[in-house]
Amino acid sequence: MSTERVRLQSRHWFGKTLAGTVLGFGLALALSGLFAWLGPDGIDGGGGKVQFNMWLIAPLWAGVLSLVYLFRTPLRAWLWLGAANASAFGLLWAVRLSMS
């Protein structure tokens, strides 16, 4: 096994950007949904909470999209964000089942 570290390269930007765009959006939706269910007053929090959840998606998505470039390869970005999506949507599904 080689001990040489993989150097970050600019040629990986397309795969990372695509992972952050596609999977980052899904992750932002799941996290916003979790906040909607687990936040103050639950899912029926009123008009202000609905508006807040809608606006919460953009900064979450932008945060994921900006941090995706810290992955060494696009494959790692896809795998880690895919696992994060599966976990977040699984947790959202469990919360919805237990609270409805």
Mean pLDDT, rounded, for 90-96: 96
**CA–CA distances in Å: residue 87 to residues 27, 60, 61:** 9, 16, 16
Which helix (H) or strand (E) is 18 found in, with range? helix 13-38
> Is pLDDT at 7 greater than 90 in this prediction?
no
pTM of the model: 0.86
CB contact at 8 A, 60 and 27: yes
pLDDT digits (tens, 9 = 90+) for 19-70: 999 999 999 999 999 999 998 888 887 778 889 999 999 999 999 999 999 9
